[in-house]
Amino acid sequence: MSEHFDVAVLGMGPGGEVAASRLLAGGKKVVVLERELIGGECAYWACIPSKTVLRPAEASTEVERAAGIGGAELDWEKAREYRDYMARNLDDSGQVDGYEGQGATVIKAEARLTGPGRLQAGDREITADHIVTATGSDAVTPPLDGIDQITAWSNRETYTARDLPGRAVVVGGSAVGTETATFLARFGVQVTLVHRGKRLMDREDARVGELAHQHLVDAGVDIRLGASAIGARRDGADSVIALDDGTEVRADVVIIGTGRKARTEGFGFEEAGVQLGKRGEVVVDENCSAGNNLWAIGDVTGVMPFTHVAKYQGRIATDAILGKPRPATYEGIPRVVFADPEIAAAGLTEEQAARRGIRTSAARLQLASAIARPWTYEQDPRGELGLLADVDRKVLVGAWAVGPHAGEWIHQASLAIRTQIPVETLLDQVAQFPTYHEAYHEALEKLEI
């Protein structure tokens, strides 16, 4: 016999969690279905453990660079202990109790759509007026011959590792590759980073990749650009990766950071009449509807695969279910890579703006030449800010920043882009002295609009 609910939430990562909490608060009868751990990839194997181990690495650089302080020593065992505490020692019993306490039915099992409004989870049949799909994404492993012979880690092995390897090859030079190389290099691992693009972070403006490159080299990372991993083999204790330029790189461990793919295979999406896109993602409209009272949020939609976007889409979908629909807008959402220093961006790159036919003016500022905060913060200060304005509408359409805490102060640009604050108004805003925020005024003055 089937059990009926107002809403079933399939997958309890950050997207599913926000959706479930809001639906429960809205008085709905909710069942949540999770096959691994409530909290999803982010809480146990991705954002939380990675940011937790990057923090001591960052703090030790801060100590090296600030005047009048020294002697910071990284302690892997203590960092690991705190990482495991932050990742709840891979135990979600508190989350299960929490959702049950809020009135949800919690089913810890793999669920499958069996038709519109119908799910199977283990031996339980569920029907629901609405289904919210939040099944996330899987790491993509390149199909290299011999990959099964080597020690290859995804983010899961990397961010639950007990011992760090002496040498690591990181494949992929975007967010996962850059953050992982930063963390490992700062903890003393000899790192080689292999990236097939001509520069790191190649979806961002060119200068962002150049700065990321420079800072990784400063941290001791050997970077191979324009090189694709095409094969793998074991040589004694070494894992060896063959590159398409004819060279090889070897290490104790190969870490794969070559992207992610929406988790849709085998979950019955086709049976439920759901349209999948070219990359296997669930195609959604501006309310996160995938049709037939089925909603999709987070990485499974293929729209900006970040936790903050999964949470936002959780709010969008539940507002629609609760009868207050509002369209999602993705303009100006920040993208932060927690390297050392942080790399942040929002809105369009120059290339994207050109493709949309927007006439732009770009400005670039070296923070140390323009404002005081970088100098009071550290010796030999680092940091740049780039702004991109639409010269016809006289608003910002893009921004990037590389520097200490850039992931915090990018939100100024993020809001300006999202709400189309006129450049004239931004120029009239007064930032606290001496802060990194002051850079905006100096960069805005350089725009030719």
Ligand X SMILES: Cc1cc2nc3c(=O)[nH]c(=O)nc-3n(C[C@H](O)[C@H](O)[C@H](O)COP(=O)(O)OP(=O)(O)OC[C@H]3O[C@@H](n4cnc5c(N)ncnc54)[C@H](O)[C@@H]3O)c2cc1C
**Which residues are annotated as part of the binding site for FAD?**
51, 135-137, 299
Provide the minimum distance between the beta carbon of 140 and ligand X in the complex, in angstroms, as a whole number. Answer: 11
Q: Give which of 298, 322, 294 is closest to 24, Cα–Cα.
A: 322
CA 449 to chain centre: 33
For residue 228, the partner it binds in ligand NAD, ligand X, none, with Cβ less than 5 to 8 A by kind, is ligand NAD
Residue 175 interacting with ligand NAD (CB under 6 A): yes
The site that binds ligand NAD (CB under 6 A) totals a number of residues, namely 25
Binding residue (CB under 6 A) for ligand NAD from 177, 374, 381, 383: 177
Provide the minimum distance between the beta carbon of 112 and ligand NAD in the complex, in angstroms, as a whole number. Answer: 25
Site string for ligand X, 49-68 (x = CB under 6 A): -xx-----------------
From the list 38-46, 84-92, 278-286, 422-430, the region that binds ligand X by CB under 6 A is 38-46
Tokens of 408: 């915090």
Instruction: Considering only residues 241 through 280, tell me which ones interact with ligand NAD, judged by CB under 6 A.
Output: 257-260
Specify the 3-state DSSP secondary structure of 126: strand
For residue 134, the partner it binds in ligand X, ligand NAD, none, with Cβ less than 5 to 8 A by kind, is ligand X
Annotated binding site, which residues? 51, 135-137, 172-179, 259, 299
Query: What is the secondary structure of 242-264 as a DSSP string?
Result: EETTS-EEEESEEEE-S-EEES-
Determine contact, residues 334/346, Cβ cutoff 8 Å.
Answer: yes
Residue in the structure block whose two tokens are 């050109």: 354
Measured CA to CA, the distance from residue 123 to residue 313 in angstroms comes to 30
Q: Give which of 125, 128, 107 is closest to 116, Cα–Cα.
A: 128
- Angle at CA of residue 199, ends 303 and 239, nearest 5°: 90
Measured CA to CA, the distance from residue 253 to residue 237 in angstroms comes to 10
Residue 13 interacting with ligand NAD (CB under 6 A): no
Provide the minimum distance between the beta carbon of 341 and ligand NAD in the complex, in angstroms, as a whole number. Answer: 14
For residue 119, the partner it binds in ligand X, ligand NAD, none, with Cβ less than 5 to 8 A by kind, is none
Provide the minimum distance between the beta carbon of 352 and ligand X in the complex, in angstroms, as a whole number. Answer: 20
Terminal C-alpha separation, the chain: 67
Question: 177 or 332, CB closer to ligand NAD?
Answer: 177
Annotated binding site for NAD(+), which residues? 172-179, 259
Specify the amino acid at residue 419: T
Determine contact, residues 287/320, Cβ cutoff 8 Å.
Answer: yes
Residue 338 interacting with ligand NAD (CB under 6 A): yes
Provide the minimum distance between the beta carbon of 177 and ligand NAD in the complex, in angstroms, as a whole number. Answer: 5
Residue 110 interacting with ligand X (CB under 6 A): yes
